[in-house]
Amino acid sequence: MQRETSVTDQLVTTLDRALRAMFAPARASRPTPGPAPGPLPEAQRRESAALMRINHAGEMAAQGLYHGQSLVARNPALRTLLDDSAREEADHLAWCETRLNELSDRPSLLGPLWYAGSFAIGVAAGLASDKVSLGFVAETERQVEAHLDSHLEKLAPDDARSLAILTRMRDDEKAHGHTARQSGGIELPRPVRALMRATSRVMTTTARHF
């Protein structure tokens, strides 16, 4: 018989996930999209690295968000959905980290801050209700999809590796948002959506440099 997961088990699992996300090298379950990378002109390399650093920070935040929501989810089916999405987001984190290494650059120095802040938001959304939690996923993914579209426009056409990574990430984010809406996610109030956009701008602006 399968043993029921206790609160202690969930807390230990969540702590393990947090430490791995913030401090361990990211590992992907799927191959990194795109062809083998070639050299880029220095200006293009710097721009690609800045964009991938921003996306790495966003994926660090996504890990915190999903882990926080999963911890307090009332419905086991919702917890499974959140955990499955978190695993795909972990692939994104690893892909961005791989690309930064290929570009001889680094992730944001504030990764633990992005994780912790998003974890707290995820817990708050999850405690509100499962429908609010799913609505938060749907709105987050909608905004991330738009954000990735803007980055795809900024990348140099020669950077096929980064283009492939972000395209695959966008497809996954779109699927996550669709699943959240189909699973009962509600539309968040306009002030909440605006606050989410403002918070995202602060993170992306800061992560570009730090």
Domains in the chain: ranges and CATH: 40-209 (1.20.1260.10)
Which of 99, 69, 95, 102 has its CA nearest to residue 84? Answer: 69
Integer Cα distance of 134 and 186 in angstroms = 7
Integer Cα distance of 210 and 200 in angstroms = 15
pLDDT along the chain (210 residues), means of 10: 61 80 86 94 96 96 93 90 91 96 96 94 92 93 94 95 97 94 92 91 92
Q: What is the pLDDT of residue 14?
A: 82
Q: What is the pLDDT of residue 1?
A: 41
Integer Cα distance of 155 and 81 in angstroms = 32
- Asked whether the beta carbons of 86 and 66 are under 8 A apart, the reply is yes
Q: What is the pLDDT of residue 88?
A: 92
3-class DSSP state of 78: helix
Residue 158: both structure tokens together: 């020669």
DSSP state of 183: T
- Tell me the whole-structure pTM to 2 decimals: 0.91
Q: What is the pLDDT of residue 146?
A: 94
Integer Cα distance of 172 and 29 in angstroms = 14
DSSP state of 33: P
Q: What is the pLDDT of residue 4?
A: 53
Integer Cα distance of 132 and 67 in angstroms = 16
- Rounding to the nearest 10 degrees, give the CA dihedral for residues 169, 172, 176, 177: 70
DSSP state of 109: T
Query: Following DSSP, what letter does each residue of 111-174 receive, concatenated?
Result: HHHHHHHHHHHHHHHHHH-HHHHHHHHHHHHHHHHHHHHHHHHHS-TT-HHHHHHHHHHHHHHH
Q: Residue 76: what residue type? A: P
Query: What percent helix, strand, coil does the chain show, rounded to 5?
Result: 75, 0, 25
- Asked whether the beta carbons of 48 and 155 are under 8 A apart, the reply is yes
